[in-house]
């Protein structure tokens, strides 16, 4: 599986220099439309700049529809987004026959009922350094290759600590939980640099076939379910540079990590991989980054209790 992750990374990882620069021409030639949607709850500080940037730089030539999926903001997010050129909908009111629950994944799932694009790009609304290439880079692999069904973002993750922005250190849940757990149970996904990235784009007909976890685990769930529905080689990842957003305090990360762990374990159980992982030796940890893929060979064995050690055990272990 580590070789498969290596091969996938080499073929399906794109940097800015790898992407075509004639996206509008390709879009017109293919006759497709593109929707961009931002799930948002109380993101007044950033949503206006993001929407204005998309509206000014990408609409109407590349982006046909810009929608903010408001999840009940009380800080003026909806008015700011509307003023910046976005259509604003109350995500909780979509599909009204189904009672709404809280969560980003809930908003994304409901948004498929109203977004009109053939290609749909979802962008988080808390990005402090948003630039138009966040959208154009995500849709580029979809326009360049009809076999690509879904594109994940990757980026460097600075982190603010004590008033100082450090160049690395963000993505704590990714590095401490999601990457190791995915490596153990879904090693073919080891080539993803940011498996929990909140920015991605996909073909509408594929997205309509996927289940959505409603909360923190939506990204992990989508990645595993895409592996099942379209296969690894129909997924790509693209470099967006650096992403700066509001970092959560460490004590707020436990609920997120718990939800993501439950989702990955739930999918692994459904795939029959929980018992399989126990029966196979530990394979190297795949650590994907914008610079390449590194393997960490973590040799670890389980010793028996000394109180139960027999002469035969010693002979077998020697």
The domain that holds 80 is classified in CATH as 3.90.550.10
**Residue 124 Ramachandran class (φ > 0 left, ψ -120 to 50 alpha, else beta):** beta
pLDDT tens for each residue of 211-270: 999 999 999 999 999 999 999 999 999 999 988 766 667 778 889 999 999 999 999 999
Domain count across the chain: 1
Distance CA 25, CA 231 (A): 28
Partners of residue 154 on adjacent β-strands: 239
pLDDT tens for each residue of 110-133: 999 999 999 999 999 999 999 999
* Residue 306, number of CB atoms within 10 A of its CB: 7
pTM: 0.91
pLDDT of residue 303: 73
Closest CA to 236 of 137, 92, 120: 137
Range of the structural domain that residue 196 is part of: 2-317
| Rounded percentage of the chain residues whose pLDDT exceeds 90 | 74
pLDDT tens for each residue of 195-208: 999 999 999 999 99
| Rounded percentage of the chain residues whose pLDDT exceeds 70 | 92
Residue 281 in this model has a pLDDT that exceeds 70 = no
Distance CA 182, CA 189 (A): 7
pLDDT of residue 44: 98
What Cα–Cα distance (Å) separates residue 23 from each residue in 30, 90, 285?
10, 31, 36
Looking at every residue in the chain, the average pLDDT score rounds to 91
Closest CA to 268 of 186, 178, 180: 186
Residue 168 in this model has a pLDDT that exceeds 90 = no
| 249 CB-contact burial (10 Å; exposed 0-12 / middle 13-18 / buried 19+) | exposed
Confidence of residue 106 (pLDDT cuts 50, 70, 90): very high
**124 and 43 Cβ atoms separated by less than 8 Å:** no
**Residue 160 gets which letter from DSSP?**
E
pLDDT of residue 83: 98
Mean pLDDT for the stretch of residues 157-173: 66
**Residue 125 gets which letter from DSSP?**
T
pLDDT tens for each residue of 82-105: 999 999 999 999 999 999 999 999
Distance CA 194, CA 171 (A): 8
């Amino acid at each position: 599986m580590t070789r498969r992750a290596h091969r996938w990374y080499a073929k399906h990882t794109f940097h800015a220099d790898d992407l075509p620069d004639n996206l509008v021409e390709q879009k017109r030639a293919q006759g497709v439309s593109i929707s961009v949607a931002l799930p948002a709850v109380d993101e007044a500080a950033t949503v206006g700049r993001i929407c204005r940037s998309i509206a000014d730089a990408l609409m109407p030539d590349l982006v046909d529809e810009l929608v903010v999926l408001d999840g009940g903001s009380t800080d003026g997010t909806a008015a700011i987004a509307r003023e910046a050129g976005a259509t604003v909908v109350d995500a909780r009111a979509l599909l009204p026959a189904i009672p709404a629950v809280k969560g980003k994944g809930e908003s994304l799932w409901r948004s498929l009922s109203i977004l009109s694009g053939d290609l749909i790009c979802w962008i988080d609304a808390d990005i402090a350094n948003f630039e138009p290439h966040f959208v154009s880079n995500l849709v580029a692999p979809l326009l360049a290759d009809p076999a690509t069904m879904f594109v994940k973002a990757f980026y460097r993750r600075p982190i603010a600590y004590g008033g100082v922005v450090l160049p690395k250190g963000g993505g704590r849940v990714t590095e401490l939980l999601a990457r190791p757990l995915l490596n153990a149970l879904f090693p073919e996904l080891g080539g993803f640099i940011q498996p929990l990235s909140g920015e991605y784009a996909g073909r509408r007909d594929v997205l309509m076939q996927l289940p959505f976890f409603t909360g923190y685990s939506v990204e992990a769930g989508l990645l595993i379910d895409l592996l099942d529905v379209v296969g690894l080689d129909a997924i790509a990842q693209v470099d967006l540079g650096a992403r700066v957003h509001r970092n959560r305090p460490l004590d707020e990360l436990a609920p997120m990590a718990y939800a993501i762990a439950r989702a990955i374990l739930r999918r692994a159980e459904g795939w029959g991989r929980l018992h399989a992982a126990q029966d196979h030796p530990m394979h190297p940890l795949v650590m994907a980054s914008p610079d390449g893929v590194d393997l960490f060979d973590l040799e670890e064995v389980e010793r028996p209790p000394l109180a139960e050690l027999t002469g035969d055990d010693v002979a077998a272990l020697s």
